[in-house]
Structure 1
Amino acid sequence: MDEYRTIQIAGRHVDFVALSWGPDSAPLAVLVHGYPDSPHSWRGVAPGLVDAGYRVVAPFTRGYAPSSVPTDGSYHIGSLAHDAIELHALLGGDDRAVLIGHDWGAIAAHAVAGLVDQPYRRVVTMAVPPAAAFTSRDGGARAYISRLVRQARLSWYFAFQQLPVLAERSLPRLVPHLWRRWSPGYEAGSHLDAAWSAIETRRTEVLRYYRHAARPWTVPPEHAAAQRAVLCPTTVPMLYLHGSDDGCALAEWTALAASTLPAGSRAESVRDAGHFLQVEQPDLVTRLIVDFFDAR
């Protein structure tokens, strides 16, 4: 069952368009996509969550078409986290609600999970580990430096996308290149088409995710607490998933993430999957998520 409906949600700074599955009375699951992507990448996961009893809502995040350009002009981590919290309220979420994020959606979910008063009972993040994993000294100083150097080489695009005009013009070639490099051997097809459709007319807005990440001092004051929370320990049980063949972020972050998470959490490597693991291995990813949500 991949039948979804498109809904509109009027927020304070963003008018969201979202894909939705399942009955409105069911517990809420908010699924947040990353870059360069769209909520269509959740279409292989959403039906299994509905079968497990959830109402699934996957928004186009701020700036991605057809959601609106945010009136506050912010693409900071704190603002993305604030959106996830606001969506919980706007969609009538309760204490059964869960949050799932991939890539930038994972970063936003880490920030949400770092807030003591956040509304989600469990959180799943994919492909970007909690901040504490990046500072872990497991293996000693040499291993720590080696990880950071190797990750920096993979993250070259972060600096490239700070360049005005040139970065925007590169996106028609860069977006499919990143899908190929980050999920080696996977033919993205309709998922790549859906991602480009959400990005093509919003190139500068999408790149501002990276440009604002390099300028944390410009975060709106109302989102400053959520911005700081991305560096805080996770306050709720979390499932962290990472593709074993990820070409964007080192697969070894999985084990390091496991050592930073609180009791009741899990970290799993997803075999035969790269960065976009939810589209490459949707059945396995869904099973891991549902098992985690059902765990006592």
Structure 2
Amino acid sequence: MQHGSVTVNGIQIAYVEEGEGPLALLLHGFPESGEATYRHLIPALAAAGYRAVAPNIRGFAPSALPADGSMLLVDLVSDANAIHQALGGGSDAVLIGHDWGAATAWAAATTAPERWSKVVISDVPPLWFFANYASTYEGIERLNHFWFFQMDMAETIVAANDMAWLRQVMQDKWTAPSYDATEDFEAVRKALNEPARLRAALDLYRMNFGPKVMGTPEWEAAHMALWGALPTQPTLYLHGTADQSVSMDEASLTAIRESLADGSETDFIQGAGHIVPAEKPDAYNARVLQFLKKAV
């Protein structure tokens, strides 16, 4: 893989890339990195004739911290669409997202549909499902890091003992029991290796789900404007059967499929936890490549 960077919205964004052809932009989630999350998919896309580009989002090293400190979803969406522009992406580009990258992809695909021909998303479903789930007893319990990160002491606790809390939660909760998350955690240590970077990562939750704004009409309107609508492009949604953050049953997956545009697909990845692209790369890559090969 080659390393590069591009400046968008006044921020230098670092990325890894491989291959030539239509742009495939791969967006990661918290607390990961683009290279680690998609280390198996990047070469597979390159072999299939794509220019696979996996950036680290603003604030996650080696990308720069935003000068204004903003980690709002609207900024992540603007960055994604601006990266497409800066890298010379065409209308045949594809957008792939996981976790926070999933929320970003839902929104980027709807706010700039002319940029993306197909969309592949895993681990965070459409807003209508996610919002309903997050307000249930199960959702509140499984997504308790959303609330923990609001506390001032979270920075101290998460940073302590070489980020031992993150190491444990990635291994015990965010990935399936049989998966070794060591390589993923090492990427986290590199991406969030300074207090300002860890603070920026936690600000994803503090700024977008802050206790004084979450649930207000203004908050709801802002999120609905970003990812309340669904992509008009064919979309593949994948979800791990062992996901302990966002649990999903067959009926819910069917409902998601029925809500998406013509040519869209959904599927479970058996045995995967919340980091599907890294945990079950053979099954994940096969479904992604199969979907991308289908004629629109």
TM-score normalised to structure 1 length? 0.87
Measured in 2, the distance between the counterparts of 1:28 and 1:169 equals 39
Deviates more, 1:182-191 or 1:262-271: 182-191
The aligned residue for residue 15 of structure 1 is 12
2-structure distance, mates of 1:229, 1:77: 8
Q: Report whether the alignment pairs 1:48 with 2:44.
A: yes
Partner of 1:255: 254
Aligned counterparts of 1:162 and 1:134: Cα–Cα separation in 2: 19
Name the counterpart of 2:156.
169
Check whether the contact 2:176–2:271 (CA below 8 A) recurs between aligned residues. no
Structure 1 position 226, deviation (Å): 8.2
The 3 A distance-change label for structure 1 pair 134 and 189 is closer
> Equivalent residue for 2:176?
184
Q: Could you say which residue in structure 2 is the equivalent of 1:205? A: 200
Instruction: Out of 153-162 and 177-186, give the one that drifted further.
Output: 177-186
Who is 2:138 aligned against?
150
Which residue pairs with 1:265 in the alignment? 264
**Residues 1:242 and 2:239 are matched in the alignment:** yes
Report Cα offsets for 1:119-174 as digits up to 9, x if no partner: 111111110001122467xxxxxxx89x822111101110110112x111222132
Give unmatched runs, 5+ long, in structure 1. 137-143, 219-223
Offset of residue 279 of structure 1: 1.0
Structure 1 contact 132–260 (Cα < 8 Å) conserved:
no
Q: Aligned in 2, Cα 1:9/1:132: closer, same or farther, shift over 3 Å? A: same
Partner of 1:139: none
Aligned partner of residue 80 in structure 1, secondary structure: helix
CA distance in 2, matches of 1:273, 1:135: 22
Counterpart position of 1:35: 30
Whole-angstrom distance in 2 between the partners of 1:118 and 1:29: 15
Secondary structure at the counterpart of residue 101 of structure 1? strand
The answer to whether structure 1 residue 77 and structure 2 residue 59 are counterparts is: no
TM-score (norm 2): 0.87
Cα deviations by residue, 1:79-134 (Å, 9 ceiling, x for unpaired): 11111100000011001100101000001001112226441111111100011224
In structure 2, distance between residues paired with 1:10 and 1:134 = 32
Q: Which residue, 70, 89, 95 being the options, matches 2:85?
A: 89
- Tell me the alpha carbon deviations over residues 63-87 of structure 1, each in whole angstroms, 9 at most, x when there is no partner: 1011001134221111111111000
Distance 1:118 1:246 in 2: 32
CA contact 1:183–1:275 (8 Å) conserved in 2:
yes
**2:95 is equivalent to residue 99 of structure 1:** yes
Preserved CA contact (<8 Å) 1:132 1:257: no
Q: In structure 1, what residue type is equivalent to 2:19? A: G
> Which residue of 209, 231, 239 corresponds with 2:228?
231
CA contact (8 A) 1:115 1:235 kept: no
Structure 1 SS opposite 2:191:
helix
Cα pair 1:31 1:101 within 8 Å, conserved: yes
Q: Aligned in 2, Cα 1:226/1:87: closer, same or farther, shift over 3 Å? A: farther
Q: How far off is 1:227 after superposition?
A: 7.1
How do 1:93-132 and structure 2 match up within 5 A? Answer: 93-115=89-111, 117-132=113-128
Percent of aligned pairs with the same residue?
32
Structure 2: 5+ residue stretches without partners: 215-220
Number of aligned residues: 277
